[in-house]
Structure 1
Amino acid sequence: MAIKWTEQMLDYIRRQAPNHSHRHIADDLSCMTGLEITEGMVRSTTKRYKIKGRDCRFRHGSIPANKGLSIPSHTNSVATQFKKGSKPTTWLPIGSERIADGYVQVKMTDTGYPPRDWVAKHRLIWEAHNGPLPDKTMLRFIDGDRTNIRLDNLLAVTRQENAVMNRWLRVNDMPEGGLISLHLMAKIKIKASQRKKEFS
């Protein structure tokens, strides 16, 4: 039911809104007018007439009511809490290996942050023989098997070359000669594009 808001009703809302909830104001107005006024009606009216309501934000410098108080734990929660120095059942020591997203990973540190602790083993093998992997370069598996981390199965490609190779594979089959041939084709295509820009 639509409510015709009188100036007296709006004035009452303006005076009450800074200190009372919409539900409280709605109940008061319902009693005063005999109309069925809901919390939602009051809320929409304050928005329509741009009436400011209660500011419930925690002001800068305010002190929380529970500051300095020790909140006791529930009896059942204490029994299941991690004790200081305890480790989760999934914890593994440094040097452990695992398979994640199809890749073999080795645990190198124990910070508790998996992306930092676990390193791809195929990258460690490649860098042990070739030095740090250059910037914007990644490793691909020649036979497509991510668990085959032998050095002769790892191919270093730039991210630009990898993008060209992936675009080819979306519409074509793997060329004869496999990934190595596809890598060579990508390098030729990139070089040709660079030369074309130079002469255009």
Structure 2
Amino acid sequence: MKEVRKRWTNAEIESLKRLYPDHRTEDLVEILGHSKTAIFGKAKILGLRKSAAFVESEKSGRIMNGSRKGESYRFKPGNIPANKGLRRPGYKPGRMGETQFKKGHRSHTWVPLGSEKLQDGYLLRKVSDTGYPPRDWRPVHRIIWEEANGPIPQGSILCFKDGDKTHIDLANLELVTRSELARRNRMWTNYPRELCETIHLAGVLKRKIRRRNREEQD
């Protein structure tokens, strides 16, 4: 069953304002009858904070310089760890040696350099093997453009002229500024929705026709 939230009364709010800065929240749970989460939330709404004096006191639960709190659980000078000497080279208790990955082991998803894959509609090619996918895989259309024209200038976007991400050809690529791209995408605010949907569907149909024609030519 869903727990019924208890409402704050004006008297409880005034008590919270008076007590919160200098009292432990756990103690306020007993005094005010609200949960710890509710008290934290209400204090945040009211902009209440613990006072500097409370924060510096032992009541806050913080470990201060010179405090002996928790001293019995601390490591003593000269303490010898229980596992000292056990983590030596070649230490393989039980079946650990059988189940450990061997040096040079590769994941079952590993593929060699030059491999390609589709991701979000873009064709990517593996150009390095660092193990960090955003660095190892690069869009093929960007590789083709940069080989012919150099790095893409900052503030520019590489687009497909016909809108077909699978039509990867240098002649089908163009650089546009971000502002130009924003103007192109403004169609949905400049035209009626029915017209925009028709334009979008026409684009989809054109891309399918071009793809079919290329497949037939191959």
TM-score normalised per structure 1: 0.50
Q: Give the deviation of 1:102 after TM superposition.
A: 1.4
Q: Give the deviation of 1:69 after TM superposition.
A: 5.7
The percentage of aligned residue pairs carrying the same residue is 43
1:153 maps to which residue?
A: 172
Cα distance between partner residues in 1 of 2:84 and 2:176: 58
Cα distance between partner residues in 2 of 1:131 and 1:113: 24
Question: What is the aligned counterpart of 2:111 among 74, 92, 101?
Answer: 92
Q: Give the deviation of 1:171 after TM superposition.
A: 4.8
Q: Across the two proteins, how many residue pairs are aligned to each other?
A: 131
The SS at the match of 1:84 is: coil
Cα distance between partner residues in 1 of 2:93 and 2:157: 50
The SS at the match of 1:124 is: helix
Cα distance between partner residues in 2 of 1:119 and 1:113: 12
Cα distance between partner residues in 2 of 1:123 and 1:160: 20
Question: What is the aligned counterpart of 2:61 among 53, 58, 72?
Answer: 53
TM-score normalised per structure 2: 0.47
Greater RCO (Cα-Cα under 8 Å, separation 6 or more): 1
Q: Give the deviation of 1:110 after TM superposition.
A: 0.9
Q: Give the deviation of 1:135 after TM superposition.
A: 1.5
Cα distance between partner residues in 1 of 2:98 and 2:136: 29
List runs of 5+ in structure 2 lacking aligned partners.
1-25, 27-34, 40-49, 64-69, 204-218
The AA in structure 2 aligned to 1:133 is I
Cα distance between partner residues in 2 of 1:100 and 1:151: 20
Q: Give the deviation of 1:132 after TM superposition.
A: 2.1
The SS at the match of 2:110 is: coil
Cα distance between partner residues in 2 of 1:170 and 1:77: 63
Cα distance between partner residues in 2 of 1:80 and 1:132: 46
Residues 25-62 of structure 1, C-alpha deviation per residue, up to 9 Å, x if partnerless?
A: xxxxxxxxxxxxxxx99xx9xx9x95243637x99xx9
Q: Give the deviation of 1:65 after TM superposition.
A: 4.9
Q: Map 1:54-73; keep pairs closer than 5 Å.
A: 55=63, 65=81, 68=84, 70=86
Question: What is the aligned counterpart of 1:110 among 129, 144, 157?
Answer: 129
The AA in structure 2 aligned to 1:161 is E
Change (3 A) 1:102 1:52: same
Change (3 A) 1:69 1:52: farther
Q: Map 1:171-182; keep pairs closer than 5 Å.
A: 171-172=190-191, 173=196, 174=199
The AA in structure 1 aligned to 2:61 is G
Cα distance between partner residues in 1 of 2:94 and 2:103: 18
Cα distance between partner residues in 1 of 2:161 and 2:107: 37
2:145 maps to which residue?
A: 126
Change (3 A) 1:52 1:130: closer
Cα distance between partner residues in 1 of 2:124 and 2:183: 27
